[in-house]
A and B are shown apart, each in its own frame.
Chain A
Amino acid sequence: MCTYETEHVAISGSGKGASGWFPLSAATVYFDHPVHAPAEHTLNVDFLNPERGPSARVAVELDPASAVALARAILAAAETAELFTGTALLGEAQVPLSRG
């Protein structure tokens, strides 16, 4: 089905899309039909810059288990970032993984 349920996240960084690199300001995360991945539903992440229009998008469609593995890998890398920078990052970031 078309779930329409979407997590919206404000982000800061850069992404490389069809027209090259651009600054990112938002991400959406949702479980729904993919465009390309060979599955009926996938866990999809869009990295966006809405000010630049709908085409300013880096899209991934992931098998849900691999999406969780990716999320854990990001958190592991964030631990390294904490140690390296001395900045606390993970307090809130652990919340989404504990849901599932």
Chain B
Amino acid sequence: MKAETVTIAGHGGDEIEAYLAQPFGKGPFGGVVVIHHMPGYDRSSKEIARRFADEGYIALMPNLYSREAPGASPDDAAAAARAGGGVPDERLVGDVDGASKHIKSLASSNGKIATIGYCSGGRQSFLAGVSLQLDAAVDCYGAAVVNPLPAGSPVKMAPLVDRVKDLSCPLLGLFGEEDQHPSPEEVAILEKQLAEHGKTYEFHSYPGAGHAFFCVDRPSFRPEAAKDGWERINHFFGRYLAS
């Protein structure tokens, strides 16, 4: 594969940094926009992008903190973005849209695009799915999709469940049964809404797993849930991103 840092046009035409990982060859390949978690555009998130390239997809991960902290290390950039209240939803959608267009502009693209995100990125992947025309979206334990953030939170992150009707693509949801954000009750409410609106979706909740069970460098890592989750993701993308 080939992996490199590139510049793309994000929300409002802003030039932002992004990490592009893609297979060698003419393709055509499906595209995956990787939405990094709140700790930032970090090494583990870049590993995820490379994993998708290894699976045969063009993976592009915009640095959502490009504006707050150009050139800063990922942890410093995340702290600056956090202190400022996080990434506004409108800007996130614009950055994901820019990443999607960048992938489609590549000669090896088959024109199909999925989003995937973890933690805050899970919510943002769902947000992209209800805001943009996509071919698939994956929400890995995204909070604040059904319930709002606790009162007093300085960040503007409204629930999205009332936008289920706008979901443009099949949705894969991967959750931990021991997670409280989102709780199993919230996951059930979201699933019910998807069913009532006739959306194509696939939800899996893992016993013994809480939040962030994919994170290999955290105590929350649950190998069995993560392995099964990766298989679900590969199968899902294989179905909806094929040429």
Contact = CB atoms under 8 A, between A and B. Distances in A.
Interface of A: 1-6, 8, 28, 30, 32-33, 35, 38-40, 46, 48, 50, 53-55, 57, 59
A6 B79 CA distance: 11
B184 interface: no
B153 A53 contact: no
A39 B212 CA distance: 12
A57 B38 contact: no
Contact of B153 (A3, A28, A35): A3
B89 interface: no
Label chain A's interface by main secondary structure. loop
Contacts of B155: 4
B160 interface: no
A53 B82 contact: no
A59 B76 CA distance: 9
B220 interface: yes
Given A3-B153, A40-B211, 6 more contacts: A2-B38, A3-B149, A4-B153, A8-B83, A35-B39, A55-B76
Interface stretch (B67-75, B130-138, B192-200, B229-237): B67-75
Interface in B119-152: 119-120, 143, 149-150, 152
Interface string B147-166: 00110111101000000000
Contacts of A2: 37-38, 86, 119-120, 143
B212 A4 contact: no
Label chain B's interface by main secondary structure. loop
A1 B77 contact: no
B46 to A, nearest CB: 15
B38 A33 contact: yes
Nearest to A8: B83
Contacts of B72: 53-55
Contact of A4 (B73, B79, B85, B219): B85
A42 to B, nearest CB: 11
B192 to A, nearest CB: 22
12 contacts: A1-B181, A3-B153, A4-B86, A5-B154, A6-B82, A33-B39, A35-B39, A35-B75, A40-B218, A50-B80, A54-B76, A55-B76
A33 B76 CA distance: 14
Nearest to B73: A55
B73 A5 contact: no
Nearest to B123: A2
Interface string B69-102: 1001101111110110110000000000000000
A5 B152 contact: yes
Contacts of A55: 69, 72-73, 76
A32 to B, nearest CB: 8
